[in-house]
Amino acid sequence: MRAFSAPFRRIAAAGAAVTLALSMVACGSNDDKAADGPDLGLLEAGTLRIGTLTDAPPNVYVKDGKFTGFDNDLITAVAAKLNLKPEFVGTDFSALLSQVNGGQFDLGSSSITITEARKKTVAFSNGYDFGYLGLNTTKNSGITKFDQLAGQRVVVVQGTVQDDYATGKNLDPVRVPNYNAAVGQLKAGTADAWISPAEIGEKMAKEQGGGVVVLAAKELSSAPTAYAVAKSNDKLREAVNKALDEVIADGTWTKLVEQYYPGRAVPESFKPGSGTVKFTAPKA
C-alpha cells in the first residue's frame, strides 16, 4: 500500500467531509419536506399549483403572457407569506372544482362564490371578496332589469353561480365554456342577455363589447368569493387562511382592491378573511 504524507491525509479527509456534507444537503432537498416548511400536501414541494382562467378581467386573466388580476395577484401575495412559488395553469371554470379536488391543482382561483352545492366537491378558504350578479345586454335590447329575462335568450358560463341563478329562475340558459364566448354571443346577436359576474361583465363590455355590449344592471351576491382547495387538504386551507389574514392586515388586500376596483365601495356587512383582522377600507 502506498504511503501518504500527513498533510495529504488531512486534505483528503477534509474533501471527504465536504463530499458527505453536500450529499446530505442533496438528500435533504429531495427527500426532507421539512426543508419546505410544514407538509401542506402540495403536488410539488415548494410550489403552489393554481388552476385559474385566462379571460375574466379584472379578476383573473392573462396579460403580456402573465397570469394576473385581483384574485391571482392576491394569491401570489398569500403564496409569498407561505414561502411558496405560485404556478398558474389555465382551465375552464366548468372543470376547475373537480380538477382541484381530483389533485390536478392545489388550489382554484377564479372569484369562486361559496355555495352549499360546491361544498360537496371542494373546501373553501375564508372569503376574500364580494361580488355582484351582472346583467349584460346590448344597447338596443330594451332589457334593463333582471325581471325582464323571461322568454329571452340568456347566456351563462357553465357551472357558475350565474348559471345557478338562471336555472333557478327557469330561464333555460344557453351555457358556454368561457366569458369570451358569452360576449361573442351578445355581439353576434345570438343571445339577448348574459348573466355575468358584474365586475367582469362591466370590464369586458368596455374592452371587448365593440360599443354594442353594456352592463345594464347588477345586484349584490349573498355569498363571498374564496379560493377552492381539495376537501382532504385541511392543512393547506388553514395555511392559506392564516396567510390571507396577514396580507389583509399588512395592506396588500386594500392596495389590490384599489388597483383593480377603483372607486368601488365595500359593503359594511363584508369583512375579508377571518373577519377578525383589522384592515384599511379601500378608497371609495
The DSSP element (H or E) to which 85 belongs, if any, is strand 85-90
Q: Can you tell me the distance from the alpha carbon of 196 to that of 200, in angstroms, rounded to the nearest whole number?
A: 7
Residue 261 carries which side chain, given as an amino acid letter?
Y
Q: pLDDT at residue 209 above 50?
A: yes
Q: Can you tell me the distance from the alpha carbon of 266 to that of 268, in angstroms, rounded to the nearest whole number?
A: 6
State the virtual CA torsion across 162, 168, 169, 172 in degrees, nearest 10.
80
Q: pLDDT at residue 32 above 50?
A: no
Q: What's the pLDDT tens digit per position in 97-145?
A: 999 999 999 999 999 999 999 999 999 999 999 989 999 999 999 999 9
Q: Are 127 and 114 in contact (CB under 8 A)?
A: yes
Q: Which of these ranges, 5-9, 45-49, 156-160, has the smallest mean pLDDT?
A: 5-9
Mean pLDDT of the chain: 89
Question: DSSP 3-state assignment of 223?
Answer: coil
140, with CB counted inside 10 A (0-12, 13-18, 19+), is exposed
Q: What angle do CA 57, 119, 265 make, to 5 degrees?
A: 40
Q: pLDDT at residue 149 above 80?
A: yes
Walk me through the domains of the chain, giving residue ranges and CATH numbers.
47-130+224-260 (3.40.190.10), 132-220 (3.40.190.10)
pTM to 2 decimal places: 0.80
Strand 66-68's sheet: what is its strand order?
55-56, 60-63, 66-68
pLDDT reported for residue 13: 44
Closest CA to 171 of 144, 199, 191: 191
208, with CB counted inside 10 A (0-12, 13-18, 19+), is middle
Whether the link from the prior residue into 267 is cis, omega within 30° of 0, is no
Q: Can you tell me the distance from the alpha carbon of 64 to that of 160, in angstroms, rounded to the nearest whole number?
A: 27
Torsion sign over Cα 81, 84, 88, 91: negative
